[in-house]
Structure 1
């Protein structure tokens, strides 16, 4: 079953550009993973400190492999100072 995720991410004040770079690096590496159908980073048009990641994974196994990948673990560790808040939402498409 396909897994869809939206992550709502807020940068620590003063670290917006650094977090943006970290997110883009994470996306670049994640897009080449097996089972990754979509992995895109978006910025909020009204709040420069807010970012969104939209992900589609083939199944839960692919998502679990992503969450255990070296580049994902590196992002979690390296963003401790740059990331202020994150909310992850599992979503379902109502219309395709």
Structure 2
């Protein structure tokens, strides 16, 4: 069964450029993963530092592979200090 994840991220205003560089790497590596159907970074129209990551996978196994990948772990380590609050994550 296909799996979709939406993560809402609030980035410190002075860290947005740094976040975008990290996110570009994350998107490119994630979309190349086996089982990843979509991986997109979206920006809120009226808020400069609010972003959504939209992820779609073939199945739960693909999600697990993604979550255990080195690029995912590295992204989390680099991005968590840039956030203004806990990310909101929804899974469907």
Same fold (TM over 0.5): yes
Contact 1:12 1:81 survives alignment (8 Å): no
Task: Tell me how large the CA RMSD over aligned residues is.
Answer: 1.0
| Native 8 Å contact 1:19 1:83 kept in 2 | no
The two structures have a TM-score, normalised by structure 1, of 0.89
Q: Which runs of 5+ in 1 are unaligned?
A: 92-96
| Count of matched residue pairs | 91
Partner residue, 1:18? 18
Where in structure 2 are there 5+ consecutive unaligned residues? none
Tell me if structure 1 keeps the 8 A contact 2:43–2:50.
Answer: yes
Task: Compute the TM-score of the two structures, normalised by the length of structure 2.
Answer: 0.92
Deviating beyond 2 angstroms after TM superposition, the runs of 4 or more aligned structure 1 residues are: none
Name the one with the larger strand percent: 1
Choose 72-81 or 46-55, whichever is displaced more. Answer: 72-81
Q: Which structure dedicates a bigger proportion of its chain to helix?
A: 2
